[in-house]
Amino acid sequence: MLSIIQAAGWPIWPLVACSVLGLALIFERFVALKTARVAPPKLLDEAITVSSKALPTPDVVNQLAQNSALGEVLASGLRTLNSNPQCTEADLRSAMEGTGRTVAHRLEKYLAALATIASAAPLLGLLGTVIGMIEIFGSQSGTGGVGGGNPAQLAHGISVALYNTAFGLIVAIPTLIFWRYFRARVDAYLLALELASEQFVRHLLRVRRK
């Protein structure tokens, strides 16, 4: 691997940095976007069961908020009713929507960075290709005609051009795939959070009327 990097020349170092950063972001998103961290399947039913007869205590609400992203959204509705039992439906929805926007921003964290790496890597590879082509033309600038070029410089220029082109695509393609995967996963989570929040709002309104 080191010999390839040396053959590719200095233009490959930004691509190496992009590959390391991309791997770190992909690993982080895999951990952060686990279902248990975002929207546990049974959490909504458990929250409805706990609050079916009366609003839970602040300690229970805090525990719910720390459970997951969905728990944080549901807890915001419980806190709103605990602090103001006579709040309007609009106020209740507004509180949960505000928390939902905060959660959505957190779920989308680093996705823009992944998209940037996927877009920039081919351009960095192209930059390396252009630099390699410049070295190739420089190797042919000798005064001895066709045979007056520098073979070592010619070979190095070809290596720089080809390795950077290939490495740029190697970095960009997986990053783009994972970005689209995480984007679809976040969209699915946001839809699940929205539907769960709507169901929980209706539940809280029924509890308050009792």
Give the tens place of pLDDT for each residue, 91-114: 999 999 999 999 999 999 999 999
Query: Distances in Å between the alpha carbon of 114 and those of 13, 27, 64, 188?
Result: 18, 12, 31, 19
Residue 203 has pLDDT above 70, yes or no: yes
What's the rounded Cα separation, in Å, for the pair 75 and 61?
A: 6
- Percentage above 90 pLDDT, the chain: 59
82 near 58, Cβ under 8 Å?
yes
Give the tens place of pLDDT for each residue, 37-64: 999 999 999 999 998 888 888 899 999 9
**Residue range 24-32: mean pLDDT, rounded:** 96
Under the banding of pLDDT at 50, 70 and 90, the label for residue 199 is very high
Contacts of 160 (CB under 8 A, 6+ apart): 7, 8, 9, 11, 128, 129, 131, 132, 135
Q: Where are the domains of the chain?
A: 2-44+53-209
206 near 149, Cβ under 8 Å?
no
- Average per-residue pLDDT in the chain? 87
Under the banding of pLDDT at 50, 70 and 90, the label for residue 146 is very low
In this prediction, residue 3 carries a pLDDT of: 66
What's the rounded Cα separation, in Å, for the pair 55 and 74?
A: 12
Residue 161 has pLDDT above 50, yes or no: yes
Output the pTM of the full model.
0.84
DSSP code for 57: P
Q: Report which of 53, 54, 46 is spatially closest to residue 74, judged by C-alpha positions.
A: 46
What's the rounded Cα separation, in Å, for the pair 44 and 118?
A: 36
**Residue range 108-135: mean pLDDT, rounded:** 90
**Residue range 132-144: mean pLDDT, rounded:** 68
What's the rounded Cα separation, in Å, for the pair 139 and 149?
A: 5
